[in-house]
Amino acid sequence: MDQNTKIEIRDLNVFAGKTQILKNINIDIPKNKITVILGPSGCGKTTLLKCLNRLTDLYPELKVSGQILIDGNNILEAKEDIYKLRQQMGLLSQRPYPLPMTIYNNIAYALKLRGIKNRREIHKLVMHYLQQASLWEEIRTRLREPASRLSIGQQQRLCLARGLAVNPEIILADEPTSALDPISSQFIEETFGSLKNDYTIVLVTHVLRQAKRIADNVVFMYLGEVIEQGSVEEVFGNPKMEKTKLYLGGTFN
């Protein structure tokens, strides 16, 4: 295995009943880079992301087969604690889902799951992660308010901070800016840019411009298949496959 590969996906197939959602997926996701999974709606991007942290377990109708190796460890057959495994990955979903508690406790909840019990340390880390998600300055006086009172953009950054608080190595983001205004989207994108030194980021999007702005690597998917993958220069600058060219040209989306 390549030293710089964080996640290897091998022959991944996902069925929902008789419908095949993902067909023979093989992807290498490099360490400490932003890998963008690009494709039109309904191409299986989100399902692929949910396979990575086994959220597919929540959907009894999904049958997953193949291998997903994270640091060489096949998580689809993980004998070890699935709950611990999920902590290796922070998740940012299409729209923010803050937990039904205060802003402070949203982060503290994640820290406690990580096993941190010391109150002073929790206090310090809540501040640290809110700063990392560039939210601290805006809400430092509102920590005891319910998270539901934040704006959508702030909620999404809170979710990012919460995802970072479990101390993951990977960040999974599923169209994290699709519900946000341009300013908040920019915030999130900039934060991703600064996070990639420490984290492996997998971002799902259907927005071409976003992919161009922040991707190091691009995986183009269409109807459950990987059409093309490579560095951003390769895929955008010199696409080999016909479908990729059409998508990049805006012929379909």
Partner 1 sequence: MTRSQKIEEKFFKLLMIVATYFILIILAIIIYSIFEKGLKSISWEMLTQVPQGGYYYGKGGGILNAILGSLALAFGATLLAFVIGMPVALYLNVFLIRHKRVISIIRFLLDLVWGIPSIVYGAFGFSLMIFFGLQTSLLAGILTVTLFILPIMIRSMDEILCTVPIGLQEAAYSLGSNKSEIAFKIFTRQSFSGIITAVLLSFGRGIGDAAAVLFTAGYTDHVPNGLLEPVATLPLSIFFQLSSPVAEVQNRAYASALVLTLIILIVSLFSRGLGKRYHKTKINF
- Indicate whether 190 belongs to the interface with partner 1 (CB under 8 A): no
| Residue 43 near partner 1 by CB under 8 A | no
- Per DSSP (E only), the strands in 39-124 are 62-70, 73-74, 89-92
Q: Where are the alpha helices (DSSP H) in 61-149?
A: 82-86, 103-113, 119-132, 136-139
Q: In whole angstroms, how large is the CA radius of gyration of the chain?
A: 18
**Residue from the set 47, 93, 191, 205 that interacts with partner 1 by CB under 8 A:** 93
Considering only residues 125 to 184 of the shown chain, the ones binding partner 1 according to CB under 8 A are 146-148, 159, 162-163, 166, 172
Q: Could you tell me which of 111, 98, 99, 110 has the C-alpha nearest to residue 155?
A: 98
Under the binding rule (CB under 8 A), the answer on residue 58 touching partner 1 is: yes
Sign of the alpha-carbon dihedral angle for 97, 57, 175, 74: positive
- Start-to-end CA distance of the chain, whole Å, equals 34
55 binds partner 1 (CB under 8 A): yes
Among 6, 86, 157, 243, interactor with partner 1 by CB under 8 A: 86
Nearer to partner 1, 109 or 136 (CB): 109
Binding residues for partner 1 (CB under 8 A): 50, 53, 55, 57-58, 60, 83-84, 86-87, 89-91, 93-95, 97-102, 109-110, 113-114, 146-148, 159, 162-163, 166, 172
